[in-house]
Amino acid sequence: MNILPDYILLKPTLTLCMICLCLFGCSSVTPTQYQAAMQNGDEGYSHIQLSENQYRVVFKGNKNTDEEEATNFALLHAAELTSANGYSWFTIVDSDTDIETKDVTRVGPSTTKPTQGETTCGLLGCATPSSPNYAGGEVTTKQVKENIMSSLLITMGKGEPETPLTVFDAQKLAQNLRPAH
């Protein structure tokens, strides 16, 4: 005779299911969002002032951040930095995107297959000796993306640029990139 109501017996099962869902939800990594890096080397955007109007702008993303998004976030930070410093436009002097990878090696299962020797017969009968033949598992190595870093060397300016084709309007660029992110 069961004196406990059925719903009480379901509690441990439901609790276990909820814990599993939470763990699986935490295990998936989302792409790095547009945010300031807390420390040097952290994910997010950062910058270093090189001269009065020249900066190195960097956006570092995790393994799920694609190249286009990392570049767009670096451009967005360059535009915001340009406006914050009282300039109206910037030009890109140099740019670089680095994808950091690591090697992941996997070893398949080992197998054992006996090797049979030659059959010999004597007074007491015939015998076929065998010895173990060990075969190692298949070893595969592949490169897996760890993170991505988009770096821009920018020069900021005011007024009419000398070569307007290579110039980004800081306010317009920020407006164009911000809604997408």
Sign of the CA dihedral running 11, 13, 16, 17:
negative
In a domain, 47, yes or no: yes
- Assigned domain for 122 exists: no
Q: Which residue has the tokens 């997408």?
A: 180
Is residue 66 assigned to a domain? yes
pTM of the model: 0.67
Q: Is 150 a member of any domain?
A: yes
In a domain, 53, yes or no: yes
* 95 occurs within a structural domain: yes
Asked if residue 23 is part of any domain, the answer here is no
**Buried-state track 92-121, b at ≥16 Cβ within 10 A, e below 16:** beeeeeeeeeeeeeeeeeeeeeeeeeeeee
Is 97 part of any domain? yes
- Please list the ranges in the chain whose pLDDT falls under 50: 17, 20-26
Number of structural domains the chain divides into? 1
Collapsing DSSP to helix, strand or coil, 4 comes out as: coil
Tens digit of each residue's pLDDT (9 = 90 or more) over 60-105: 999 999 999 999 999 999 999 999 999 999 999 999 999 998 988 8
* Domain ranges, residue 47: 35-103+140-181
